[in-house]
Structure 1
Amino acid sequence: MVLVGYFSAKQKNFGGLMASAAQELAARGARVAMQIVQRRGVSDGGVQKMSLPYSSRTLLSYGKVREVAQACGQANADAVIFVASLTERQQRVLTATLGRPAVSLSDILAAD
């Protein structure tokens, strides 16, 4: 599977959060083949866009969604797990766009 994180530039420990999420998934028998992070507001251009809404349809930028889709194909991933919570609409759109289930880590942890 591919693990995806979406973090604000204010979140300094995003690497630790990604590692923790990967450990939680591994403890449940999942194999994280790739990790992808989108940080918002890191670059000068990104800081200027912080007041603009992110994509409410996919949570990620269009380019990052393409990157995730490519990573899924390369890793032959059977699912995409998002560290951030997804709305039902985001889950539907991302599942259709990526061609594999897109779910929130919180949904997986809640199922246990």
Structure 2
Amino acid sequence: MHQHRRRDRRLTRRASSEPAQRQAFRLPDEGADVVLVGYFSAKQKDFETLMASAATELAAHGARVVAQMVQRRGVSDGGVRKMGLPFSSRTLLTYGKVREVALACEQADADAVIFVAPLTERQQRTLTDMLGRPAVSLPDILTAD
């Protein structure tokens, strides 16, 4: 019997000698409508202050925050039991929350989605595809200027 050869995925990842540079997203000068998304654990008690601070930072950069969404982890009984499990490394949020963010973006006709937490390149690509608009982390916006 002929056996199929398995392709080593690690080799294809290493094929490029230079790492891919993340495309920096810049807010337009005339202002952009953005949805601000925060991801916080139940231990983070001052998440509202952090969200307000992030909205102020974005306003200083010319953006209008048209909606704010918060994903809390470990608040409910079910969430507390799942705290030992890894969160979605693909989207950072639950799929239900991603749908809520997408709906808020559609209703507000937002230009971008800004996450308070840092996003990996994979999360940024996946969320951009799922939401239909750029998904960027706040630290990337602040360091782009």
What is the TM-score when the length of structure 2 is the normalising length?
Answer: 0.77
Q: Following the alignment from structure 1 to structure 2, what is the Cα–Cα distance between the partners of residues 29 and 62?
A: 30
1:55 to 88, 91, 97: 88
Tell me which residue corresponds to 2:53.
20
Where has structure 1 moved over 6 Å in runs of 4 or more? none
1:22-55 Cα distance to aligned partner (Å, 9 max, x none) = 0000001000000000000001110001011111
2:90 counterpart SS class: coil
Amino acid paired to 1:16? T
Tell me which residue corresponds to 2:113.
80
The alignment's C-alpha RMSD in Å is 0.4
Shift of 1:84: 0.2
Amino acid paired to 1:51? G
1:6 counterpart SS class: strand
What is the TM-score when the length of structure 1 is the normalising length?
Answer: 0.99
Higher helix share: 1
Amino acid paired to 1:59? L
For structure 2, list consecutive stretches of 5 or more residues without a partner in the other structure: 1-33
For structure 1, list consecutive stretches of 5 or more residues without a partner in the other structure: none
Tell me which residue corresponds to 1:108.
141
1:56-103 Cα distance to aligned partner (Å, 9 max, x none) = 000000100000000000110010000000000000000000000000
1:32-71 matches, cutoff 5 A? 32-71=65-104
- When Rg is computed on C-alpha atoms for both structures, the one with the higher figure is 2
User: Quick one: percent identity of the two aligned structures?
Assistant: 80
